[in-house]
């Protein structure tokens, strides 16, 4: 005998479910109703997903902060702050804040966490302690020489294939070549040999092509962690890139695993490079494979984006370009700059350092939300009590374009601000721009590597070449997917007559 569910019963169940949903929505809204923000953001994650899909989430967060205040509601359980002091407190070594579910979407291997995606504070601190010596340069004494060698390879590529003359026009996609450069630098530092992007002048394994598609998708999933967990579940994991793939990100995972496996099988696994340092400090083969992959992904995209941003602004501002080039020429003439320049020498060049800081500030290289979770006991921020479990994001453009910190022209790329500021004003500016590398227990381990690349690359390029933009009205295409996706940055490169 069949059981028939009568229509009134179906209606009652539907009404009950609707009532539960409405009640849950009201409770969720009320929990953070004292924090202002876009109206619909309080009821669903649509606002965050929409801005991620448009590729303008950092700008949308800044606009929300500008309109609603320093602490703004951007989701049912999500807030964003533009207060550097709040961020430093959240990231302090002894802070009770932890990483939020946002980070789970950034597991490069869906079966395990890496240093970036790891949310367990104790495990994160332990793993970070094992990896920090390798990034510091103290156990990788050839770090500076390695970067110099890759710069020399980039210079050679330009001179061989992309140098324009009066009779020959050879445009170069600066965005593409800088990513080749940063990929070769970090792979050389990580594994003891580069992956060969500059040698081949090609997108090896279609890595850039695939990450161009996958990173925006990861950004969207990070705004909806439940979906990220479903995608990474054992039921759907087969749809994600895997180390047996022949091209794309999966092939890149496979290459990384093979390099690490070969090192562990060798007679001297702890060679004087980053991987060797990781092994000496106790990383096993699985951990080393995951962290080596993270190194390459995290250490190439963010560094490349800052190099591109600085160059875009230099070429858009002839007085700034000429002043930096003059500082380089004067340093060479006075014997203060070697060939190639040393990191210690670059750090003594005031205008170069101002240009680098301004480049980091104007478009912070890692511009994702980086949600941290309020500890169970809650916290008071901007005079408001915030209950435990709330997710708090940073608003990178609001922080680094703050007129209170950087002056009324904070939206303008103007390196001179770093030479004009003094005392507490300069200290506040410096401590704020340092946040592009985060701080405390979450500070980026690759900070020293990135700064050394900046210190050396701009000098070595501008001492040899003159650059001009091919399309002044649209020098490059720029969107955001947690990192800045900068493409089609075409330049004309000519040899300088004053080449030393």
Known binding-site positions for heme: 444
- Cα dihedral 330, 334, 340, 342 in deg (nearest 10): -100
Tell me if residue 398 falls in helix, strand or coil: helix
C-alpha separations of 70 from 25, 52, 81, 399, 425 in Å: 25, 21, 6, 10, 20
Burial-class residue 476 by CB neighbours within 10 Å (0-12, 13-18, 19+): buried
Q: Give the integer Cα–Cα distance in Å for 465 and 163.
A: 9
Helix (H) or strand (E) holding 173: strand 172-173
Q: Give the integer Cα–Cα distance in Å for 363 and 476.
A: 14
- According to DSSP, residue 376 is labeled T
C-alpha separations of 350 from 11, 184, 357 in Å: 73, 28, 11
423: which 2 tokens?
């005392």
Q: Is the CB of residue 261 less than 8 Å from the CB of residue 160? A: no
275: which 2 tokens?
């991987």
Q: Give the integer Cα–Cα distance in Å for 332 and 122.
A: 48
Number of Cβ within 10 Å of residue 217's Cβ equals: 14
Q: Is the peptide bond between 172 and the residue preceding it cis, with omega within 30 degrees of 0?
A: no
Name the percent of the chain in helix, strand, coil, to the closest 5: 55, 10, 35
Orientation of helix 174-191 relative to helix 285-316, angle to 10°: 150
Could you list the residues known to form a binding site, using ranges.
444
331: which 2 tokens?
């340093």
Q: Give the integer Cα–Cα distance in Å for 39 and 281.
A: 50
| Sequence-ordered alpha helix ranges (H) in 334-402 | 343-346, 350-362, 396-400
């Amino acid at each position: 005998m069949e059981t028939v569910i009568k229509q009134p019963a179906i209606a009652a169940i539907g009404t009950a479910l609707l009532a539960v949903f409405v009640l849950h929505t009201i409770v969720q809204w009320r929990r953070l109703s004292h924090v202002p923000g876009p109206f619909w953001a309080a009821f669903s994650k649509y606002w965050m997903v929409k801005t991620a899909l448009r590729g303008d989430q950092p700008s949308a967060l800044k606009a929300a902060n500008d309109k609603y205040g320093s602490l703004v509601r951007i989701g049912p359980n999500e807030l964003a702050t533009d207060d550097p002091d709040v961020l430093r407190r959240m990231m302090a070594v002894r802070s009770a804040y932890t990483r939020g579910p946002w980070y789970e979407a950034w597991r490069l291997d869906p079966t395990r966490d890496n240093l970036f995606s790891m949310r367990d504070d104790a495990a994160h601190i332990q793993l970070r302690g094992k990896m920090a010596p390798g990034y510091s340069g103290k156990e990788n004494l050839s770090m500076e020489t390695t970067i110099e060698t890759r710069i020399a390879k980039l210079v050679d590529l330009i001179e061989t294939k992309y140098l324009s003359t009066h009779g020959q026009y050879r445009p170069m996609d600066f965005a593409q070549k800088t990513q080749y450069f940063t990929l070769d630098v970090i792979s050389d530092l990580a594994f003891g040999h580069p992956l060969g992007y500059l040698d081949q002048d090609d997108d090896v394994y279609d890595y850039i092509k695939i990450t161009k598609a996958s990173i925006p998708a990861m950004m969207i999933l990070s705004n909806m962690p439940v979906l990220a967990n479903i995608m990474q579940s054992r039921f759907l994991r087969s749809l994600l890139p895997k180390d047996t793939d022949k091209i794309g990100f999966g092939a890149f995972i496979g290459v990384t695993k093979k390099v690490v496996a070969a090192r562990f099988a060798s007679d001297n696994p702890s060679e004087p490079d980053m991987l060797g340092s990781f092994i000496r400090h106790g990383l096993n083969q699985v951990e080393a494979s995951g962290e080596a992959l993270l190194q390459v992904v995290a250490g190439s995209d963010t560094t490349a984006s800052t190099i591109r941003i600085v160059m875009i602004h230099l070429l858009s501002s002839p007085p700034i370009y000429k002043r930096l080039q003059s500082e380089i020429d004067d340093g060479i003439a006075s014997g203060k700059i070697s060939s190639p320049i040393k990191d210690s020498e670059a750090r003594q060049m005031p205008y170069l350092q101002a240009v680098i800081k301004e480049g980091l500030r104007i478009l912070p290289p890692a511009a994702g939300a980086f949600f941290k979770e309020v500890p169970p006991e809650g916290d008071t921020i901007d005079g408001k009590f915030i209950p435990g479990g709330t997710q708090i994001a940073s608003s990178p453009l609001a922080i680094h374009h703050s007129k209170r910190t950087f002056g009324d022209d904070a939206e303008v790329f103007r390196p001179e601000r770093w030479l004009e500021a003094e005392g507490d004003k300069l200290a506040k500016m410096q401590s704020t721009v340092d946040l592009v590398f985060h701080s405390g227990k979450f500070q980026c381990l690759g900070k020293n590597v990135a700064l050394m690349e900046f210190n050396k690359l701009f000098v070595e390029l501008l001492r040899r070449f003159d650059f001009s933009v091919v399309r002044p009205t649209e020098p490059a295409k720029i969107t955001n997917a947690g990192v800045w996706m900068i493409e089609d940055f075409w330049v004309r490169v000519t040899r300088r007559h004053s080449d030393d």
